[in-house]
Structure 1
Amino acid sequence: MTPITNNLKPWVGLILLSIALLSSQFGYGQQKSGKPNIIYIYADDLGYGDVSAYGATKIQTPNLDRLAASGIRFTNAHTTSATCTPSRFGLMTGIYPWRQQGTGVLPGDAKLIIPTDRVSLPKIFKKAGYHTAVVGKWHLGLGTQVKKNWNTDVKPGPNEVGFDYSFIFPATADRVPTVFMENHRVLGLDQNDPIEVDYQQPVGNDPTGKEHPELLKMHSSPGQGHNQTIVNGIGRIGYMSGGHRARWVDEEVSTTFLSVAQEYIKRNKERPFFLYFALTEPHVPRMPATIFKGKSNLGYRGDAILQLDWTVGQIMDQIESLGLSDNTLIIFSSDNGPVLDDGYQDGAVSQRNGHMPAGPLRGGKYSIFEGGTRVPFIVSGAGAAKGVTSDALLCQIDLLASVADMLGQAIPKGEAFDSQALWDTFLGKDKEGRSHLIEHAGSLAVIKGKWKYIEPGNGRAYAKLTDTELGNAPHPQLYDLSKDMGEKNNVADTHPKMVKELAAILAAERNK
């Protein structure tokens, strides 16, 4: 060895040690750690038939089709519930929402319903060394009480549930307060114009849709209540005063969330991250960016779906451009089934043009029929099969236990017990999935194999305001989904043993 080489020898060791330390700090050893980045993209009210990869012909979703072609398209995947708040509760906690009171659709001023002292989906990632973030719709409540001060830190919230970073709006776009929140604070708030929110009585002097319909650029549907404080020419549910500089512009909400999500991905590309990207499309009020308006020929709802599809494509392109494709898993789904008229006259009904948002399924949002909980579900990226269609029975509630199993994280006894460890199912390696699943839409139903049982109930069979078959009936219902995906032929009378078996499963689940 030459003298020069001898002189360099200690420096080589130091350089290698420095590289190792940098790799540890910034995540350069990420792929070797076996920890894939996971991006969970959650659409809002997107139906099984709203995606061309699932059979839509009146609208095309090329980016979602591209995602499906590069991964797994699940045809029997479900939310826990047929509405948004309970579905999100199940996803975050691993607990069926019907087990806990107060998990129905929340007003915009609701208190936090996710326990801060129990396991959650983001906490599983955090314990495994991930950085975690939520960007988009929250709708799981904030703070410890309904009456809260929106002009200071509002907590507990997403950060206390397990997210290192949060950029959200509190509830849904049709509910006040119509503001963005970064971590615990309202973004862009002028303290000289404090926010006040009330869901019981008017506050401040802002006009309401009920009293000043001439100020509306989108009218509410009769009887659906979207006629209180007007923000950006749209009547909302609830009353709000103040915070005028902080209020969002509807046409910019989606691109704002996208830009924040992209910045988060860029900032954390060198370490394992979990991003829960909760979109607002195609939930009401549907007010897409101008470049998408009129493009679908299906009214603003169709335009919003095109915007959603474009947004997914932007995330996919960014992951590819950053060189993260081999170590990033993208999961796409929706929080419940579709609805056309859900509060506003936006062309969703009058310009339907033969589009079937639930595809071959019966019902939709709010319904115990399959259209309420069977949704598009696509998994693509690190470790997932490619170009595969799976009919495995899967539920979003299973993500928590599946990720915990994959990352070697223990779930405390008695917590997240409805979530099942099915990581091989998520990756397309297992073709069976769950043995059975409980569906929820006010009443409950059980799916086991090809059979679906809906318990008898006294609820309404039909919701006139939203034109939805709710699926409730005073007698038992049994459907063979392998032959009757549209649940048209009730065979309970000819298969009494199966009715008894599934009713017993439901009773046992209730008693857990």
Structure 2
Amino acid sequence: MMNFRYAFLLITLFLFPQQGLWSAEKQSDSKPNIIVILCDDLGYGDLACYGHPQIKTPHIDRLASQGMRLTDCYASAPVCSPSRAGLLTGRTPNRVGVYDWIPEGHPMHLKRDEVTIAQLLQKADYDTAHVGKWHCNGLFNSKKQPQPGDHGFQHWFSTQNNALPTHQNPNNFVRNGKPLGEIKGFSCQIVADEGIRWLKEWRAVDKPFFLHVCFHEPHERVASPPDLVKRYLDTTLYEDQAQYFANVANMDAAVGKLMKTLDELKLAENTLVFFTSDNGPETLNRYGKGSRRSWGTPGVLRGMKLHIYEGGIRVPGIIRWPGRIEAGQESNVPVSSVDMLPTFCEMVNISLPKNRELDGTSLLPLFAGNNDLQRSTPLFWNYYRANSTPRVAMREGDWKVVAHWSGPEGIRRLGNNVNSISQEYIKNAKLTKFELYNLKEDISEQHNLAWQERERLNHLKKKLTQKYKEVQKEGPVWDTKSYEQSREKSLFKDQAK
């Protein structure tokens, strides 16, 4: 007699062919879904799983326990707009001309002829969506510059820069070209809810998807739910500090909602999730009046946001891909956001963009347990307005070389943001003095070994100088005259009031 359970299984598969073993087999053979979660100004030491003694981040901690926690994960720049451009294109940001954060109205933008992750995946029959902070152009929601939709995102729910006036009840979101006015709630929850609604209602369910989630948190101006703030008031010295801690906790809850949705939709097993930050933590009070809540920490790292030292560029990094990445791993292999584009291309088996230099490498060998990533070019950073005196850096293996330049050491002589003056230095300044650090032995960059390791320094100095000149030559020059003139008029009117 046929086993009852076996007979029941056969009947089930016959009557419901979309369920059970068939659907599991189909999912395992299909192209992987991809979610990239990018925080704004989240410091290396701001998560519980990265050592913060007070902030509770159970959902992100769980994500790390289910995948790989990266101890040496880097943003492509120490400031927001360049970092985002680098992640999307796999190219160091100066190549594409995004040299600094982009003010509203500025001509600088991610050019239409750049090739993004979203465009490549869209051509590979992926459905794509961007939710949250865009900050890759100055003329947001204008036909004069490319928008998220022009860079491959079929659905977009975005802001030009920060959530305004604060994270609470923002009024500057645009959905697919339509301004939405004030939205009740807190930005990270609003962004997560949009991503969840897209996953449940709007995406093409017969296609794999790429969802780019860009939280505004914990960038100033910080605003957090009162109940979360209250939890931290007993453990902090200042209410503003409690506001920041609660801001990170609120973002953690938003990540939890997204991950729960993947589980509910039975998508988690075939979805790679990459969680990271656009740069290091903000310096307290840099924004002046009304912005006193930047209590982020770089942990043991030197420097913070805007620095070429580790605190400006080394950020939290977590990758979860069930079945392909063994759970509970920790990797100290240096990786960067510029690695995402070549990684996703190899995952999906699509060709890399042609006729352009890429600065990242595929991480698939790392996922399979091979720690010897073969890079054709070392990791590289260049930020002309860095708060640190060095403006350029390169990492090869355990060693990092940082370089000063022939331009002004202070940033006042460069003017405000990218302009005709600063671009002269961006395009023509030379590298001068060099520092050398062994990050394996000296993660805090306290011991400059330039004199002790002359041979190694000369080797890395030659590589860095060659890369710097190559990138410097490729970067475009923006016509900023009209923007500078309009800004001068605006300042004159403000002073006359």
- Is the counterpart of residue 348 in structure 1 residue 344 in structure 2? no
Does the aligned pair in 2 maintain the 1:28–1:270 contact within 8 Å? no
Alpha-carbon distance in 1 for matches of 2:188, 2:353: 37
| Residue-by-residue CA offset, 1:145-172 (whole Å, 9 max, x unaligned) | x5x8x6x878630111101110001122
Corresponding position of 1:417: 358
Letter in 2 for 1:171: N
| Shift in Å, 1:476 | 1.6
Report the equivalent of 2:56: 60
Percentage of identical aligned residues? 29
1:295 alignment partner, SS class: helix
Counterpart of 2:395?
447
- Counterparts of 1:172 and 1:433 in 2: how far apart (Å)? 36
Q: SS in structure 2 opposite 1:337? A: coil
Q: In the alignment, is the contact (CA less than 8 A) between 2:49 and 2:61 conserved in 1? A: yes
* AA matched with 2:160: P
Taking a change above 3 Å as real, the CA distance of residues 327 and 310 of structure 1, as seen in their structure-2 partners, is same
Q: Distance in 2 between matches of 1:494 and 1:55?
A: 33
The verdict on how the C-alpha distance between 1:456 and 1:340 changes in structure 2, with shifts beyond 3 A counting, is closer
CA distance in 1 between counterparts of 2:71 and 2:60 reads 14
AA of the residue aligned to 1:392: V
Cα distance in 1 between the residues matched to 2:301 and 2:313: 10
Give per-residue Cα distances to partners, 1:168-219, cap 9 Å, x unaligned: 01122368995111112212xxxxxxxxxxxxxxxxxxxxxxxxxxxxxxxx
CA distance, structure 1, for counterparts of residue 155 and residue 29 of structure 2: 23
Following superposition, the deviation at residue 265 of structure 1 comes to 1.5
Structure-2 separation of matches of 1:260 and 1:103 = 30
Q: Residue 77 of structure 2 corresponds to which residue in structure 1?
A: 81
Q: Does 1:496 align with 2:454?
A: yes
Structure 1 position 43, deviation (Å): 0.5
Deviation at 1:477, TM superposition (A): 0.8
| Residues 450, 102 of structure 1: alpha-carbon distance in 2 compared, 3 angstrom cutoff | closer
Distance 1:413 1:46 in 2: 33
Aligned-partner SS, 1:294? helix
Give how far 1:431 is off: 1.5
> How do 1:72-471 and structure 2 match up within 5 A?
72-111=68-107, 113-141=109-137, 146=139, 156-173=146-163, 178-187=171-180, 246-248=181-183, 251-267=185-201, 268=203, 270-296=206-232, 297=236, 298-341=241-284, 342-343=286-287, 344-345=289-290, 348=293, 357-382=297-322, 383-415=324-356, 417-425=358-366, 427=367, 429-433=369-373, 435=375, 436-442=378-384, 443-457=391-405, 460=409
Verify the 8 A CA contact 1:107 1:175 in the aligned structure 2: no
Which residue pairs with 2:428 in the alignment?
none
State the alpha-carbon separation in 2 of the partners of residues 487 and 175 from structure 1.
37
| Conservation of the 8 A alpha-carbon contact between 1:108 and 1:175 | no
**SS in structure 2 at match of 1:406:** helix
C-alpha contact (below 8 Å) 1:128/1:409 kept by paired residues: yes
State TM-score, norm by structure 2: 0.76
- Between the aligned partners of 1:291 and 1:462, the Cα distance in structure 2 is 40
Give, in whole Å, the separation in 2 of the partners of 1:28 and 1:36. Answer: 13
Q: CA deviation at 1:428?
A: 5.4
CA distance in 1, matches of 2:348, 2:331: 24
After TM superposition, the score normalised by the length of structure 1 is: 0.74
Residue 141 and residue 377 in structure 1: after superposition, are their counterparts in 2 closer, same or farther (change >3 A)? same
Alpha-carbon distance change, 175 to 448 in structure 1, aligned in 2, over 3 angstroms: farther
Q: Is the 8 A contact 1:108 1:172 kept in 2?
A: no
Which range is displaced more, 120-129 or 75-84? Answer: 120-129
Q: Cα–Cα, structure 1 residues 485 and 328, in superposed 2: closer, same or farther, change >3 Å?
A: same
In 2, the alpha carbon distance for the partners of 1:256 and 1:100 equals 31
Q: Counterpart of 1:491 in 2: which secondary structure?
A: coil
Which residue does 2:475 correspond to in 1? none
Matched residue count:
414
CA shift, 1:440, in A, is: 2.8
Please tell me the residue identity of whatever aligns with 1:324. Answer: L
Q: Distance in 2 between matches of 1:412 and 1:258?
A: 30
Letter in 1 for 2:293: A
Change (3 A) 1:247 1:112: farther
Alignment-mate amino acid for residue 351 of structure 2: A
Alignment partner, residue 485 of structure 1: 443
- Paired position in structure 1 for 2:492: none
Does the Cα contact within 8 Å between 2:220 and 2:293 map onto a contact in 1? no
User: Over residues 249-301 of structure 1, what are the superposed CA-to-partner deviations in whole Å (9 max), with x where a residue is unaligned?
Assistant: 6x532221111111111233553110000001100100123332333343321
Please give the secondary structure, in 1, of the residue aligned with 2:433: coil
Measure the CA separation in 2 of the matches of 1:115 and 1:410: 21
Distance 1:330 1:280 in 2: 18
| Equivalent pair of 2:339/2:362 in contact (CA under 8 Å) | yes
Describe the superposition over 1:323-379 as per-residue Cα deviations: whole angstroms up to 9, x where unpaired.
Answer: 112111111000000014242555536xx6xxx710110101000100111100000
SS of 2:231's partner is: coil
- Larger helix percent: 2
Q: What is the aligned partner in structure 1 of residue 39 from structure 2?
A: 43
- CA drift of 1:99 comes to 2.4
Query: Structure 2: how far apart are the matches of 1:328 and 1:55?
Result: 27
RMSD (Å) for aligned C-alpha atoms: 3.0
**Match for 1:475: what amino acid?**
K
The unaligned stretches of length 5 or more in structure 1 are 1-14, 188-245, 464-472
Alpha-carbon distance change, 107 to 451 in structure 1, aligned in 2, over 3 angstroms: same
> How far is the alpha carbon of 1:416 from its aligned partner?
5.1
Q: Secondary structure at the match of 1:487?
A: coil
| DSSP 3-state at the match of 1:420 | coil
Runs of 4+ in 1 over 4 A off after TM superposition: 27-30, 152-155, 174-178, 344-347, 458-463
Shift of 1:94: 1.6
Deviations 1:405-424 (A, max 9, x none): 22121123223522322223
